[in-house]
């Protein structure tokens, strides 16, 4: 998926390859405080072309509350690839995204936990702000095929 996305972005409207492509690596972290809370960390590869930029992130995310010892608890861990597409080279302002991955959900009681594998395919829309020294703050929302149809994210990239 990452290779396919890079090849699409590295072509102009005529289907010809663009001469200048710049790659840059960053770290990213996000918090999704609503619906089912989620925390994620990952590494991002930013590709800048003449017409815009794309950020591909490999993200490990999940939720577990070690202080919650009730009769039923919820745990989740997953891996996903998220591609953010920007209409400018600075990676600020409006962007859209595509994510694909899978989650392992533990839904059940402590005595008989039940792990379920659930895929994630989603598209999203967001807005980003440049902070300083190439650090960015972003908000986004996505919709798709996943355990919850939609979620809201606050992310930080450095």
Decide which of 84 and 114 is more confident.
84
Q: Write the CATH number for 153.
A: 2.40.160.20
Name, in order, each residue with C-beta under 8 angstroms of 7's C-beta and a sequence gap of 6 or more.
none
Give the tens place of pLDDT for each residue, 3-61: 444 444 444 445 544 445 567 889 999 998 877 778 999 999 989 888 889 999 999 99
- The pLDDT of residue 1 is 45
Give the tens place of pLDDT for each residue, 60-100: 998 866 556 554 556 789 999 999 999 998 889 999 999 99
Decide which of 154 and 112 is more confident.
154
Token pair for residue 30? 């996000």
- The pLDDT of residue 51 is 83
Number of domains in the chain: 1
Q: Identify the domain containing residue 25 by its residue range.
A: 2-157
Average pLDDT over residues 121-150: 91
Per-residue 3-state assignment (H helix, E strand, C coil) for 85-132: EECCCCCCEEEEEEEEEEEEEEEEECCECCEEEEEEEEEEEEEEEECC
- The pLDDT of residue 8 is 45
């Amino acid at each position: 998926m990452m290779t396919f996305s890079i090849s699409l972005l590295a072509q102009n409207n005529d289907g010809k390859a663009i001469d200048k492509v710049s790659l840059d690596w960053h770290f990213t972290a996000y918090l999704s405080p609503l619906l089912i809370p989620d925390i994620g960390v990952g590494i991002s590869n930013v590709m800048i072309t003449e017409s815009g930029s794309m950020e591909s992130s490999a993200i490990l995310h999940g939720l577990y509350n070690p202080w919650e010892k009730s009769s039923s608890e919820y745990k989740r861990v997953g891996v996903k690839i998220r591609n953010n597409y920007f209409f400018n080279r600075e990676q600020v302002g409006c962007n859209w995204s595509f994510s694909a991955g899978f989650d392992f959900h533990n839904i059940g009681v402590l005595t008989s936990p039940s792990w379920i594998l659930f895929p994630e395919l989603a598209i999203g829309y967001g807005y980003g702000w440049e902070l300083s020294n190439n650090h960015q703050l972003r908000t986004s929302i996505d919709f798709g095929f996943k355990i919850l149809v939609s979620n809201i994210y606050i992310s930080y990239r450095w």
